[in-house]
Structure 1
Amino acid sequence: MSRALSTQVDLEIAINGYITPGEDYFDREQQEKRPRPTPLPGPPNAESLARMISNARKSKKGKIGIRDRICCHQWTWFTMATGGVANVLHSVWTPYRADWIWYIGLIFFLLNLCLFIMNCILITMRFIMVPGSFMHSFLDQMESLFIPSVVLSTATIMINTCEYGIPMTGPWLQHTMEWLFWIYIVVSVIASAGMYLILWSTQIFPIHTMTPVWVFPGYPLLLTAPFASTLIAANTTAMNNPPINRLAIAMCAIAVQGTGFLISFMICAAFIYRLMTQKLPRDMQRPGVFISIGPSGFTVAGLVSLGQQSQVVIPDSFQGSTHSVIILRLLSTIVGLWLWGLSIWFFLVSVGSLWKYVRPERKMPFQMTWWSFVFPNTALVTATLALATALGSTGLRICGCVMAALLIVVWALVLMSMLKCLWNRQLLWPKELEGD
Structure 2
Amino acid sequence: MSTGAIATLLSQQPNSFDGLRTIGKVFFILDLVLFFLFSALMTTRFVLNPKAITRSLHHPHESFFFGTYWVSIGLILYCIQQYAVDSCGPWLVKTLEICFWIFAGCALLVAIFQYHVIFDLESPPIHDALPAWILPLYPFLVLGPLAATLEYSQPREAALPIMIGGIMFQGLGWTFALIIYTLYITRLISEQLPEESKRPGMYVAVGPAAYTSITLVSLGSQAQKVLPDDFLSITSVPTGDLWKAFGVPAGIFLWLIGFWFFALSTVSVFFGIRKIYFTLNWWAFVFPNVGLVIAAIQIGNVLKSKAIGWVCSGATIVLVIVWFVVAVANVRGVWKGQVCWPGKDEDMEDVDGQETATEAEVMNLDGQGPA
Query: In the aligned structure 1, how far is the partner of 2:270 from the partner of 2:278?
Result: 16
Quote the residue 1:7 is aligned against.
Answer: none
Q: How many residues align?
A: 346
Indicate if the aligned counterparts of 1:307 and 1:329 stay in contact, CA closer than 8 A: yes
RMSD (Å) for aligned C-alpha atoms: 1.6
Aligned-partner SS, 2:339: coil
* 1:219 matched to 2:152: no
CA distance in 2, matches of 1:303, 1:199: 30
Q: What is the CA deviation profile of residues 29-74 of structure 1, one whole-angstrom value per residue up to 9, with x for unaligned ones?
A: xxxxxxxxxxxxxxxxxxxxxxxxxxxxxxxxxxxxxxxxxxxxxx
Per-residue Cα deviation, 1:106-153 (whole angstroms, up to 9, x for no partner): 111110010000011000000011121111111111110101111111
Q: Which stretch shows the higher mean deviation, 375-384 or 420-429?
A: 420-429
Q: Distance in 2 between matches of 1:84 and 1:272?
A: 27
3-state SS, counterpart of residue 12 of structure 2 = helix
Deviations 1:273-301 (A, max 9, x none): 00100021112321211000000100111
- Paired position in structure 2 for 1:77: none
Residues 247-273 of structure 1: CA distance to partner in whole angstroms, max 9, x if unpaired?
A: 111011101101110100110111000
Deviations 1:356-412 (A, max 9, x none): 244xxx231211121111111111011000100111111111111111111111111
Instruction: Report whether the alignment pairs 1:82 with 2:30.
Output: no
Name the structure 2 match of 1:178. 97
| Structure 1 position 315, deviation (Å) | 1.1
Identify unmatched segments of 5+ residues in structure 1. 1-79, 236-241
Determine which of 44, 48, 52 is the counterpart of 1:129: 48
Equivalent in the alignment of 2:319: 407
How far off its partner does 1:308 sit?
1.0
Contact 1:127–1:134, Cα closer than 8 Å, also in 2: yes
Is the contact made by 1:163 and 1:234 (CA closer than 8 Å) also made in structure 2?
Answer: no
- Conserved? CA contact 2:225–2:240, under 8 Å: no
Matches within 5 A, 1:334-349: 334-349=249-264
The structure 1 segments of at least 4 consecutive aligned residues displaced by more than 4 Å after TM superposition are: none
Compute the displacement of 1:435 (Å). 9.8
Matched with 2:340 is 428
Deviation at 1:427, TM superposition (A): 2.5
Instruction: Give the equivalent residue in structure 1 for 2:110.
Output: 191
| Amino acid in structure 1 at the alignment position of 2:164 | M
Secondary structure at the residue paired with 2:275? coil
1:324 paired with 2:239, answer yes
What is the distance in 2 between the residues matched to 1:401 and 1:260? 28
Rounded Cα–Cα distance in structure 2 between residues aligned with 1:284 and 1:205: 20
Structure 1 distance, partners of 2:315, 2:156, is 34
Aligned mates of 1:208, 1:224 — CA distance in 2: 30
CA shift, 1:434, in A, is: 5.5
CA distance in 1, matches of 2:35, 2:298: 27
TM-score calculated relative to the size of structure 1 = 0.77
What amino acid sits opposite 1:340 in the alignment?
W
User: 2:114 is aligned with what amino acid?
Assistant: M
Map of 1:308 onto structure 2: 221
Structure of larger gyration radius: 1
* Paired residue secondary structure (1:91): coil
Q: Using the aligned pairs only, state the percent identity.
A: 32
Contact 1:167 1:234 (8 Å CA) reproduced: no
Question: How far, CA to CA, are the matches of 2:15 and 2:153 in structure 1?
Answer: 17
- Equivalences for 1:342-421 in 2 at 5 Å? 342-358=257-273, 362-421=274-333
Match of 2:127 in 1: 208
Partners of 2:364 and 2:144 in 1: CA distance: 50
Aligned amino acid, residue 290 of structure 2: T
- In structure 1, the residue matched to 2:64 is 145
Amino acid at match of 1:229: A
Partner of 2:179 in structure 1? 266
Residue pair 1:166, 1:174 contacting (<8 A) in 2 also? yes
Give the partner amino acid of 1:424: K
User: 2: distance between equivalents of 1:105 and 1:234?
Assistant: 20
Deviations 1:200-256 (A, max 9, x none): 011021122111111111101111111111111244xxxxxx555111110111011
Amino acid paired to 1:179: I
Unaligned runs of at least 5 residues, structure 2: 344-358, 366-371
Corresponding position: 1:275 with 2:275 = no
CA distance in 1, matches of 2:104, 2:40: 25
Q: Distance in 1 between matches of 2:79 and 2:188?
A: 36
- Equivalent positions of 1:10-159 (< 5 A) are 80-92=1-13, 95-96=14-15, 98-159=17-78
Seen in structure 2, the aligned counterparts of structure 1 residues 220 and 435 have a Cα distance that, compared at 3 Å, is closer
Q: Distance in 2 between matches of 1:141 and 1:318?
A: 46
Q: In structure 2, the residue corresponding to 1:307 is in which secondary structure?
A: helix
Q: CA deviation at 1:329?
A: 1.4
Aligned counterparts of 2:337 and 2:116: Cα–Cα separation in 1: 35
Residues in 2 aligned to 1:216 and 1:185: alpha-carbon distance in whole angstroms: 15
Does structure 2 conserve the Cα–Cα contact (< 8 Å) formed by 1:211 and 1:285?
Answer: no
Equivalent residue for 1:289, pick from 197, 202, 209: 202
Q: What is the one-letter code of the residue matched to 2:12?
A: S
Q: Deviations over 1:301-328 (max 9, x none)?
A: 1121111111221112223334322221
Q: Distance in 2 between matches of 1:430 and 1:197?
A: 27
Q: Could you say what secondary structure the match of 1:405 adopts?
A: helix
| Contact 2:3/2:31, CA 8 A, preserved across alignment | yes
Q: Does 1:333 align with 2:248?
A: yes
Structure 1 letter corresponding to 2:206: I
Paired residue for 1:30?
A: none
